[in-house]
Structure 1
């Protein structure tokens, strides 16, 4: 059998020699040149070849297994190749394949580590096909590792080398990446193409209506006629002109002016009207706004009758959850409605109903996304006892398991006196203490021992009030778990974000609205000067009200383009298949007694 396969080696070496002859000096070697053979043939031939031939054959076999989506076999073959004995070109080839396999295992940090091998300093000397492959893998790894700007930069860098479907896909992905960046990262740099993309994202985001957005895009194209995005607008931007005709002319803002929710409604109304007046001040067209008092309603049917008589073509509200439940149970609504709360069910409502709110479930899902991107895989959860804690835990668990993570245990906290026992139970400290006692009893002598916690926990998901969080972090340290990372929702933040925070919170990572984290924004400074409550928890409601106005223009776009989003003051906004507005949030950390954005 081996004799029959010898011509394969001759062919393979001929390819290598021909390539070397075309390379001056051949100092970095050549990429493997896969012959027309099966994996089995290449591996068998490698067994009868000298080390240099064998390495090249095994690299080709590992790559063929990867292309055939036999990832375990590809990894197994690749492990047989001694990386350090390869020339730089083959090291680039091997490390790129290793990174692709790491991405398949959802390990972007490992992939980036593979792509940082010293051999990549020679990447520009390799054939374009390898440059493209390595750069696109790097871009995917950066994106999976939550390094969005770096991923966009990598794709902009490689774009001139692409063609056909790959070029089109990369073009759209650049826009998707820059469109999801927070405002403080949309700053021009030294790269003209990337700066153009960032400027396009910035001007399209700053518009308060689709008409204004279209005008800003047209102006940008006139000033940058040779930019790749001007030559070919990303798909979401090409749809704006058609969608602009769907913007409402009259909006009914339906909020309670009396009762328990009056202060919440006031914050929402302030944010909504601030955005409205800002639009008018910019010279852009804005819909007419009519205010309605939902606390005076006897039935939603009666309200819709009045709204239709008033010419309303979009309702923003109601806020009250019972009214949202009523709407969600209907098969049809007479007017498109953006409710400012969520119904309890996950079942989709009528096609005219959209739902938007500051739900803890959104933040729980954000924790799952961020923790997974950070390489966490095994979690425990601490949530308050009660319906709110149950909903938050359920949302986290669903998203975390969907990512591929494992939820080892969960505790519902309520009484401070129970907290130490609950955390000890989570980390199995009592088992450790019991083992020490049994050993002491068996030996009959005192022994020096320290309880040891279980080591299979990567992080803690925490949803808690400020008072609970300030008790939990020190208790973790007392129970030998102070080194376990804690990822939390925003509910543990008390007071203004600029105020000193309790030292007991140091080290906790948490997600928060852009409004509260971007304290230097001129709009925020102006609003807080007139309404100081906007610097604290009421600021989240102000941001939500502002985004509710933003959505009056953008709902049609988010629905027509499922992968699109728009940056708001309460988060990066997109639409779920059930027409719920989903918020993606930035992150911060309690550090040295203050909140530090990440």
Structure 2
């Protein structure tokens, strides 16, 4: 077990005993092979623990049974916060058994997730026996606090101490802590945090070079871990906050002067002032510069030629805004395997750092086994495509405007808003089959119910016959006729629609949407919320025609909400009057997101603010897209607030 004692001048732990004691009067410290290399990092921590435990022990006094009983009852109920408070009260009321009660309080605070109070309590848990059950509990508690701090050395020290004479009742806890330690030692983010903790004491943080070294280490740490450092108020907290602020400034493209002034206003006592903030932003920004040589594989002709042109112009638009020292080469590919693999091999042999493309799902499958150059594919095969589905690979990513992904997003949105019973309305295009399958699967998996699915022909304008059947208005009429015949009397009667659903989902084009929405209103379903795929919007602002779509909510891109119409873009041929605006936006995002993919891959919670939506990287490399939401108002697509529901924004 861990003995307590003094530190020799050379900073190495010495002593032969293996006991747990935290009073400097006892001069023995553990002598283990690992001690010499850990002592400098642990000296301050152990010495603080020793000094905190120097009070002379008092003669034990019997605690009031009610104090202990109440604390144990709270623990049994899982109310750890209450239990911790009760144990602290018992420790103050009964000094003779205060160490044991402070230890109980520390463990309860840890269970409650309050590490600050747990530290305070464990520091007051003294003196404890040199060995035995409570001494081991104290060592495990200190190890667990170190694990929360990603402090590998301290966690190892106390776990090694706890291992000697480990009671069987604590073995499961000990082994769980060992598993957490093993994860910590192999987790890059944890290693980065541990390195930063070790470095912060030796750096001169009034020097820009040392500030930059610390921020580069912290930039390897995921957002939620940095936020946790800030929340806990650790020694790294001010620098974690700075890392998060600079990261947000860089990724959002904020104006530096304003961002620096805002930083200094929030952190007036920080070593980094506004001028230093701007300097660090510039230097860290070099880590997120575009690659120097990029090959783009896109079709120029055929069925995807128009889509390829819109994506190409989006890439060029983003490149011209931030060219850096990048060289972009476009390589035309067709539908044949030889064309795609040949272009890719040319990119490999040409020394390109990145490949953007290809666009066809089948072409992406062809390139999967080759993967020697980092690639951002513009499509992503799925199981229903009948081609090989990509597997996780460090240098393969996929950014796509997938109809299936979009349909799943609509299902999720509807479920989040509380809609559980839906009627699905489809056009007769093959794309709607894909959307319907993905929507139905996601909606059912989320606890929803599809009460009916109806397909409408694009060659017809009047869908009233289908709608009366779908809404069971015809059945209502038939009931009236039957009742009237049985009574042999004329009846005053107004047919009613079914009411066993609470929303519609449409996978239709603009023309059919303009037909169906007014007819739903005619059949007394105009107030029922309608959600649709993004294809319901043509991409052109046309209030005269689209007023019939008022009230429909749909996923879209920020670019499609009117940005493309400003300036010279309105006349750009590849956008085709806005119809291909989303593909143009996809091209812009494909270029802009490249420097951020490494960070996104190691930080799944990091969200890149793209023009096609908020982007995240999933474990398999596919880039998830949370779309912008819109609804039609007075014939115009308008941003739809997150708190709004279609029922509140309907044109009635």
TM-score by length of 2: 0.54
Q: Is the 8 A contact 2:461 2:515 kept in 1?
A: no
The alpha carbon displacement at 1:169 in A equals 7.9
- Residue 528 (structure 2) aligned to one of 461, 481, 484: 484
Q: Is the alpha carbon distance of 1:245 and 1:265 closer, same or farther for their aligned partners in structure 2, counting shifts above 3 Å?
A: closer
For residue 604 of structure 2, the aligned residue among 550, 562, 565 is: 562
Between 495-504 and 298-307, the greater mean CA deviation after superposition:
495-504
Q: 1:528 aligns with which of 566, 569, 580?
A: 569
- Aligned partner of 2:585 in structure 1 is 543
Q: Give the 5 Å matches for 1:322-341.
A: 322-327=362-367, 330-341=368-379
1:404 to 442, 447, 452: 447
Select which of 436, 445, 449 maps to 1:393.
Answer: 436
Change (3 A) 1:312 1:38: closer
The corresponding residue for 1:248 is 291
What does the per-residue CA deviation read over 1:426-460, in whole Å, with 9 as the maximum and x for residues that have no partner? 32223222222221121111212222222121110
Q: How does 1:394-543 map to 2 (within 5 A)?
A: 394-415=437-458, 416=460, 419-497=463-541, 499-517=543-561, 519=563, 525-529=566-570, 531=572, 534=575, 536-543=578-585
Paired with 2:531 and 2:463, the residues of 1 have a C-alpha distance of 18
- Equivalent residues in 2 for 1:581-596 (5 A)? 581-596=623-638
Q: Does structure 1 conserve the Cα–Cα contact (< 8 Å) formed by 2:295 and 2:354?
A: yes
1:227 to 1:270, Cα distance in 2 relative to 1, 3 A? farther
Residue deviations 1:101-132 (CA, integer Å, cap 9, x gap): xxxxxxxxxxxxxxxxxxxxxxxxxxxxxxxx
**Equivalent residues of 1:325, 1:344 under 8 A apart:** no
Tell whether the 8 Å contact from 1:566 to 1:572 is kept in structure 2 after alignment: yes
Q: For the residues of structure 1 that align with 2:499 and 2:243, how far apart are their CA atoms?
A: 45
Which secondary structure does the structure 2 equivalent of 1:253 belong to? strand
Distance 1:533 1:269, change over 3 A: closer
Query: For the residues of structure 1 that align with 2:499 and 2:434, how far apart are their CA atoms?
Result: 28
Of 261, 265, 271 in structure 1, the residue corresponding to residue 304 of structure 2 is 261
Over 3 Å counting, the alpha-carbon distance change for 1:226 and 1:453 in structure 2 is farther
Higher RCO structure (Cα 8 Å, ≥6 apart): 1
Match of 2:159 in 1: none
- Structure with the greater alpha carbon radius of gyration: 2
Equivalent position of 1:126 in the other structure: none
Residues 1:273 and 2:319 aligned together: no
- Is 2:610 aligned against 1:572? no
Q: Sort the Cα spacing of 1:499 and 1:554 in 2 relative to 1 into closer, same or farther, 3 A.
A: farther
SS at match of 1:456: coil
Distance in 2 between residues matched to 1:274 and 1:242, nearest whole Å: 20
Q: Aligned with 1:455: secondary structure?
A: coil
Does the aligned pair in 2 maintain the 1:462–1:488 contact within 8 Å? yes
Q: Cα distance, 1:473 vs. partner?
A: 0.8
1:60-85 Cα shifts (integer Å, max 9, x gaps): xxxxxxx99xxxxxxxxxxxxxxxxx
Q: 1:38 to 1:561 in 2, by over 3 A?
A: closer
Answering whether residue 420 of structure 2 is matched by residue 377 of structure 1, we say: yes
CA positional deviation for 1:488: 1.0
Change (3 A) 1:216 1:307: farther
Distance 1:333 1:295 in 2: 20
| Counterpart Cα distance in 1 of 2:477 and 2:437 | 32
TM-score by length of 1: 0.59
Q: Is the 8 A contact 2:547 2:635 kept in 1?
A: yes
Contact 2:365 2:390 in 1 (8 A): no
The structure 2 residue matched to 1:314, chosen from 347, 350, 354, is 354
Shift of 1:354: 2.2
SS at match of 1:354: strand
Task: Using the TM superposition, give the Cα deviation of residue 244 of structure 1 relative to its aligned residue in structure 2, in angstroms.
Answer: 3.7
Instruction: Name the structure 1 match of 2:175.
Output: none
- What is the alpha-carbon distance in structure 2 between the residues aligned to residue 170 and residue 335 of structure 1? 31
Q: Does structure 1 conserve the Cα–Cα contact (< 8 Å) formed by 2:392 and 2:620?
A: no
Measure, in 2, the Cα distance between the counterparts of 1:243 and 1:438.
Answer: 79
The alpha-carbon distance between structure 1 residues 245 and 514, as it changes in their structure 2 partners (threshold 3 A), is closer
Counterpart for residue 342 of structure 2: 302
Residue 514 of structure 1 and its aligned partner are, at CA, apart by: 0.4
The structure-2 alpha-carbon separation of the partners of 1:507 and 1:422, relative to structure 1 and needing over 3 Å to count, comes to same
Structure 1 position 287, deviation (Å): 2.9
Specify whether residues 216 and 313 from structure 1 end up closer, same or farther in structure 2 by C-alpha distance, changes over 3 A only: farther
Provide the rounded CA distance (Å) in 2 between the counterparts of 1:498 and 1:173: 50
Cα 1:230–1:427 change in 2 (3 A) is farther
**Distance verdict in 2 for CA 1:222–1:472, change over 3 Å:** same
Measured in 2, the distance between the counterparts of 1:434 and 1:394 equals: 33
RMSD value over aligned CA atoms? 4.3
CA distance in 2, matches of 1:225, 1:594: 43
Q: Contact conserved, 2:309 with 2:574, CA < 8 A, in 1?
A: no
- Judged with a 3 Å threshold, the aligned counterparts in structure 2 of structure 1 residues 199 and 592 are, in CA distance, closer, same or farther, namely farther
Report Cα offsets for 1:4-36 as digits up to 9, x if no partner: xxxxxxx99xx9xxxxxxxxxxxxxxxxx9985
Q: Secondary structure at the match of 1:371?
A: helix
Q: Aligned to 1:502, what secondary structure does the other structure show?
A: helix
**1:289 maps to 2:328:** yes
Residue aligning to 1:116: none
- List alignment gaps of at least 5 residues for structure 2: 1-65, 78-110, 113-223, 232-241, 274-279, 641-652
Distance 1:170 1:289, change over 3 A: closer
Separation in 1, partners of 2:424, 2:485: 35
- The answer (yes or no) to whether the contact 2:520–2:526 under 8 Å persists in 1 is yes
Q: Distance in 1 between matches of 2:228 and 2:470?
A: 45
**Structure 1 counterpart of 2:83:** none
What corresponds to 2:81 in structure 1? none
Gaps (5+ residues) in structure 1? 1-10, 16-32, 40-66, 69-167, 176-195, 232-236
Partners of 1:301 and 1:533 in 2: CA distance: 26
